[in-house]
């Protein structure tokens, strides 16, 4: 059975409680309506929150579906350590998938550029993994406040058999009644955190004492500066250009992905209270550290149409 850890927490603030109730409702609804759901798990803070909510939703039962991690092979090593520890502790079923084509053709963010690399190792990999498992529903931790095209995403987001999203032709969603009727081969992506903001996620992580990857907390770490981003220089796979030098800096990450594409921020926030304080006064949104969103307006919408999460 799924064991709760802490029986003595103070009650949640009403707005967090309402968000939690909504997420639990969505988890239960999808688990009951679909034959073969899976939960996308990226090891980041939103995924950690999603996982925590899933454990709550089904308690005292264990989570009745597997977790799927699309592993590009270029994740921070701390993420993989954290993931493996958590899977063991909570006795979860994890499927880690890496695109075999990418491995064979040696696709890397350095040799193929961030756009093509992301397309093969993330978008194509996700499509392959979903086809492999024949999943008819996939939970994701996307939030509507992250990016403009996500603001119109449904809670149950319909996908064609080739995983395409048609933003012009979405099913209307009224009240909290979700339409889960699909034909064979079609699927739904379900987003229990749709109505959460970054600040909500952090407040909830603090209130619920949810474990997260230590890279979110500031620490003195080696970095290089590349294309205006601070790249962590702890990994042997990072090749330095002649003009690049490793510097020690107090940094942390607001979002985590592949280490060569994730920019760190200078920060002194060493615990959750300090992170929340930092966000309250932050003037830069969290996706700013992501190379893939920065090409042009609408770039996320294009990736999403292609099946990117």
Partner 1 sequence: MSELNLAKQQDLTKSTLKNLSPLRFITCGSVDDGKSTLIGRLLWDTKAVKEDQEERLRKDSRKQKDGLNLPEFALLLDGLQAEREQGITIDVAYRYFSTSKRTFIVADTPGHEQYTRNMATGASSAELAILLVDARVGILEQTKRHAMIASMMGIKQFILAVNKIDLANYDRQLFETIETEFSEFALSLGITDIISIPMCALKGENVVNKDLEHMGWYEGPTLLEALERATIRSKQTVGFRMPVQRVCRPNESFRGYQGTVSGGAVKPGDSVVILPSGIKANVTNIITFDLVRNAAVAGDAITLELDRNVDIARGDMISSIDARPLVGHNFSANIICLAQSGIVANKRYWLKSSSKLQRVVVEPISVIDLKSGQYNACDSFELNNIGKVKLRFEEEANFDIYDENPDTGSFILIDPDSNNTIAGGMISAKIEQVANIDNFNEEEIIVFSMPLVEAKKLQQLEGFKEISDKVQQTQTIKSKLRNLLSDID
Binding positions for partner 1, rule: CB under 8 A:
1-2, 4, 6-7, 9, 13-15, 17-18, 20-21, 24-25, 28-29, 31-32, 55-62, 144-145, 147-152, 167-168, 170-177, 179, 181-183, 194-195, 197, 199-200, 282-285, 287-288, 297-298, 301
C-beta of 199 vs 248, nearer to partner 1: 199
CB of 261 to partner 1, least distance (A): 16
Specify the residue for token string 């304080």: 277
Q: How far is 270 from 288, CA to CA, in rounded Å? A: 21
C-beta of 15 vs 219, nearer to partner 1: 15
Provide φ and ψ at 187, rounded to 5°: -150, 175
C-beta of 58 vs 217, nearer to partner 1: 58
CB of 292 to partner 1, least distance (A): 14
CB of 94 to partner 1, least distance (A): 20
Q: How far is 172 from 147, CA to CA, in rounded Å? A: 20
CB of 293 to partner 1, least distance (A): 10
Q: Specify burial of residue 160 (Cβ count, 10 A radius: 0-12, 13-18, 19+).
A: middle
Q: How far is 107 from 103, CA to CA, in rounded Å? A: 6
Residues 6+ apart with CB under 8 A from 256: 42, 43, 44, 45, 75, 76, 79, 213, 215, 216, 262
Specify the residue for token string 């996500």: 150
C-beta of 172 vs 242, nearer to partner 1: 172
C-beta of 104 vs 296, nearer to partner 1: 296
Q: How far is 96 from 168, CA to CA, in rounded Å? A: 33
Element holding 18 (H helix, E strand)? helix 14-33
CB of 225 to partner 1, least distance (A): 18
CB of 280 to partner 1, least distance (A): 9
Structure tokens at 33: 């309506």
Provide φ and ψ at 264, rounded to 5°: -90, 165
Residue length, the chain? 309
C-beta of 238 vs 261, nearer to partner 1: 261
CB of 13 to partner 1, least distance (A): 7
CB of 168 to partner 1, least distance (A): 7
C-beta of 168 vs 236, nearer to partner 1: 168
Considering only CA atoms, which of 287, 290, 15, 32 is closest in space to residue 156?
32
Structure tokens at 197: 């903001």
C-beta of 90 vs 97, nearer to partner 1: 90
């Amino acid at each position: 059975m799924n064991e709760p850890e802490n029986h003595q927490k103070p009650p949640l603030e009403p707005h967090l409680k309402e968000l939690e109730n909504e997420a639990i409702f969505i988890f239960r609804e999808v688990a009951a309506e679909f034959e073969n759901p899976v939960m996308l798990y990226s090891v980041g803070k939103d995924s950690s929150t999603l996982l925590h909510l899933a454990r709550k939703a089904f308690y005292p039962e264990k989570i009745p579906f597997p977790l799927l991690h699309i592993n590009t092979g270029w994740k921070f090593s701390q993420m993989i350590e954290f993931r493996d520890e958590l899977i063991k502790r909570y006795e979860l079923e994890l499927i880690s998938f890496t695109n075999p084509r990418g491995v064979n053709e040696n696709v890397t963010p350095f040799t193929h550029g961030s756009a093509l690399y992301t397309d093969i190792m993330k978008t194509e990999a996700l499509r392959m993994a979903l086809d492999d498992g024949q999943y008819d529903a996939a939970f994701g931790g996307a939030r509507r406040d992250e990016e403009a095209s996500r603001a119109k995403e449904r809670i149950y987001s319909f996908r064609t058999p080739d995983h395409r999203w048609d933003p012009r032709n979405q099913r209307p969603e009224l009240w909290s009644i979700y339409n889960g009727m699909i034909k064979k081969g079609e699927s739904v992506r379900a987003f229990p955190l749709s109505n959460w903001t970054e600040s909500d996620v952090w407040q909830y992580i603090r209130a619920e004492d949810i474990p997260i990857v230590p890279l979110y907390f500031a620490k003195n770490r080696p970095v290089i500066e590349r294309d205006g981003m601070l790249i962590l220089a702890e990994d042997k796979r990072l090749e330095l250009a002649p003009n690049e030098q490793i510097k020690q800096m107090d940094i942390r990450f607001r979002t985590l992905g592949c280490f060569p594409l994730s920019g760190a921020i200078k920060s002194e926030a060493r615990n959750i209270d300090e992170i929340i304080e930092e966000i309250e006064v932050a003037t830069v949104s969290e996706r700013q550290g992501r190379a893939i969103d920065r090409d042009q307006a609408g770039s996320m919408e294009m990736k999403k149409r292609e099946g990117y999460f």
